[in-house]
Amino acid sequence: MAKNKISEWSATAANNTDIGGIDIAEGCAPSGINNAIRELMAQVKDQQTGTDADNFTVGGNLSVTGTTTATGAITATAGVTGNLTGNVTGNVTGNVTGNVTGNVTGATTGAHNGSVGATTPSTGVFTTASASSGFTGNLTGNVTGNVTGNVTGSSGSCTGNAATATTASNVIGVGQTWQDLSSSRASGTTYTNSTGRPIFISVRWDRDDGTLELTVDSLPIGKTGSTAGPQFYTLTAIIPASSTYSATATGSGGTLSWYELR
């Protein structure tokens, strides 16, 4: 078989009796040597440019002083110990000890000991991420560990601990308005504050006699009532995020007014 690329050469010198179909066996015609050398140079060039689509294996260390551009997939079983400045569109199953300044769009199951930046939202899930310098991009997956820094954007589900700084953006009353929810609230019905931040409620019961009781997270926060003539009973409370609350009015013929700052 003609040896048309480097991978077809034999490690046994005696087996290399041709190159590109040119006879270089023992006792070959001297006129073929020039052609054989030219064919050799052509095959080495094809290997260098990659036009022969041949495989290349480095048994020792590969040192690259310039920029390496990979248009195909990279499989590094021993990991990447340097910095990665491009984008990772596949999955990272090992640990990243350097910095990734591009985007990670796949799932990462290893630990991030360096910084990870993202110019667009990352759609992968960071299962054991540890970035000492923090994440400056958006994380659209779930956080199953603890968040010890500040979350300045909106958050989804968080099964660990999340420490959030108190700033002007999350103080009660900032960015919130009073809303009349009387038509959508009923006496004795339990509601959940799903706004993601504390709200303030004011409930009023107008009638001649009766009682009004306010409950937050199953605790009787306040109760008022009278039987002496027309009365206006009002109870107020701050409802923490994710807390449940209800107002129960007793007596008939009265009017229940319900307002929330949310």
Same domain, residue pair 203 and 160: no
Lowest mean pLDDT of 160-164, 170-174, 236-240, 258-262, name the range.
160-164
Asked, for residue 58, whether it belongs to a domain, the answer is no
> How many beta carbons lie within 10 A of that of residue 182, not counting itself?
14
Q: How far is CA 125 from CA 107, 108, 109, 164, 197, in A?
A: 5, 6, 8, 21, 25
Q: Are residues 194 and 160 in the same domain?
A: no
pLDDT confidence bin for 41, thresholds 50/70/90: very high
- For 195-219, what is each residue's pLDDT tens digit? 999 999 999 988 877 889 999 999 9
Residue 182 CB partners (closer than 8 Å, separation 6+): 256, 257, 258, 259
In angstroms, the CA 119 to CA 19 distance is 51
Q: Is 104 exposed, middle or buried (0-12, 13-18, 19+ CB in 10 A)?
A: buried
**pLDDT of 57:** 86
Distance CA 76, CA 89 (A): 15
Same domain, 93 and 42: no
What is the number of domains present in the chain?
Answer: 3
Is residue 101 one of the residues assigned to a domain? yes
* pLDDT, the chain, mean: 78
Type of residue found at 169? S
Phi and psi of 45, rounded to 5°? -65, -40
Domain boundary among 165, 191, 215: 165
Statement: residue 235 has pLDDT above 50: yes
| Tokens 């050469």 sit on residue | 9
Residue 41's contacts (CB-CB under 8 Å, 6 or more residues apart) are: none
Asked whether residue 147 falls in the same domain as residue 115, the answer is yes
What is the pTM for the complete model shown? 0.41
In this structure, the answer to whether residues 76 and 157 fall within a common structural domain is yes
The amino acid at 199: I
Residue 218 lies in a domain: yes
Q: Are 190 and 241 in contact, with CB atoms under 8 Å apart?
A: no
Mean pLDDT (whole number) for 89-108: 62
Give the domain extent around 30: 6-49
Q: Give the Cα separation of 129 and 118 in Å (integer).
A: 14
